[in-house]
Copies of this chain bind each other. A is one copy, B any other.
Amino acid sequence: MNVLLVFAHPERASFVGALLDTAQRALTAAGHNVVVSDLYADGFEAAAGAADFANRANPDYLNIGAEQAHAAEHAAFAPVLQREMERVAAADLVIFLFPMWWFSVPAILKGWIDRVFAYGVAYDFERTWNHGVYRGKRAMLAFTTGAPAAVFEPDGRSGDLERVLWPLHGGVLALCGFDVLRPFTAWAVPWIQAQGREQVLAAWSRRLHDLDRETPLFFHPLEDFGEDRRLKPDVEPGTPAQHRGPRKHLD
């Protein structure tokens, strides 16, 4: 199968770099075709803007979504975006490797998402979630943290990891139709010793070897929602972000 590794760390010799090395080795050894997008090495521009488009629907007013739709129709994306879009299109599996910064991806990877998962390419109003463009493909997050696992337990100081990851798991990957695999997390890497490091990398290698047998995370199909875009009354909320309880912040 074709695997795209999107690598977003400024230091190739980092722990995330070791996750990348391990993934390249393990996947290649298993006979897969591996392509790496090394965002820092490529000097990938993070900020979506006018330079994303070879020509414009409206040169006087920059509406990114509208220009993405136009560019998708007229093959008018900047070459670097076209290349990344083709890599995603060719991939059966996309793995994002990054350090968790501020409960999310580094800006350079957010920029890859903003610019490569363009309207008209990765989604449009007719193609989202289980009807998404990338259905049939799988995706997963592989990341390091500075903090230990306990802080991301449901009652941990940082909040439940599965809720922290919802904007990425749900809002990006599942929304584009990917089957989302459980994340791989290397915890508290600044404090890990050589032996611990080898153990994590070995676990990562084993994980990659068995990915085929994994069941993806659950997201509600669009058919679970009514015309009002809310879960039908008889559907039990089944994700980390959907619920019927009271709100804590916004009621």
Specify the chain B residue showing the minimal Cβ separation from A115.
B107
Interface size class of A (residues with CB under 8 A): 35 or more
Q: Name the contact of A229 in the complex, choosing from B14, B103, B105, B150 (C-beta under 8 A).
A: B150
Render A144-164 as a binary contact track against B, CB cut-off 8 A, 1 for contact.
Answer: 001010110111111111111
Instruction: Let me know if A217 is at the binding interface, CB within 8 A.
Output: yes
Work out how many copies of this chain go into the complex.
Answer: 2
Interface contact A47-B108, CB-CB below 8 Å: yes
Point out the residues of chain B lying under 8 angstroms from A134, CB to CB: none
Instruction: Let me know if A194 is at the binding interface, CB within 8 A.
Output: no
- Give the secondary structure class of A's interface: loop
Interface contact B155-A244, CB-CB below 8 Å: yes
How long is the Cα–Cα vector from A165 to B240 in the complex, in angstroms? 13
Instruction: Let me know if A113 is at the binding interface, CB within 8 A.
Output: yes
How long is the Cα–Cα vector from A151 to B123 in the complex, in angstroms? 17
Which residues of chain A in 214-251 are interfacial with respect to chain B, using CB atoms and an 8 Å cutoff?
A: 217-218, 220, 222, 225, 228-231, 237-245, 247-250
Interface contact A150-B102, CB-CB below 8 Å: no
Instruction: Let me know if A79 is at the binding interface, CB within 8 A.
Output: no
Give the shortest distance, in Å, between A74 (CB) and chain B (any CB): 20
Given contacts A11-B62, A49-B40, A241 and B159 within 8 Å (CB-CB)? yes
Instruction: Let me know if A132 is at the binding interface, CB within 8 A.
Output: no
Point out the residues of chain B lying under 8 angstroms from A165, CB to CB: 249
Interface contact A242-B172, CB-CB below 8 Å: no
How long is the Cα–Cα vector from A121 to B161 in the complex, in angstroms? 26
Interface contact B46-A10, CB-CB below 8 Å: no
How long is the Cα–Cα vector from A249 to B160 in the complex, in angstroms? 10
Interface contact A107-B114, CB-CB below 8 Å: yes
Which residues of chain A in 47-104 are interfacial with respect to chain B, using CB atoms and an 8 Å cutoff?
A: 47-50, 61-65, 101-104
Given contacts A107-B111, A171-B102, A156 and B48 within 8 Å (CB-CB)? no
Give the shortest distance, in Å, between A137 (CB) and chain B (any CB): 17
Interface contact B242-A247, CB-CB below 8 Å: no
Known: A129-B157, A158-B170, A218-B249. 14 other contacts (CB 8 A): A10-B50, A10-B64, A40-B47, A46-B47, A102-B113, A104-B110, A107-B110, A107-B111, A110-B110, A155-B242, A155-B243, A159-B239, A159-B241, A164-B167
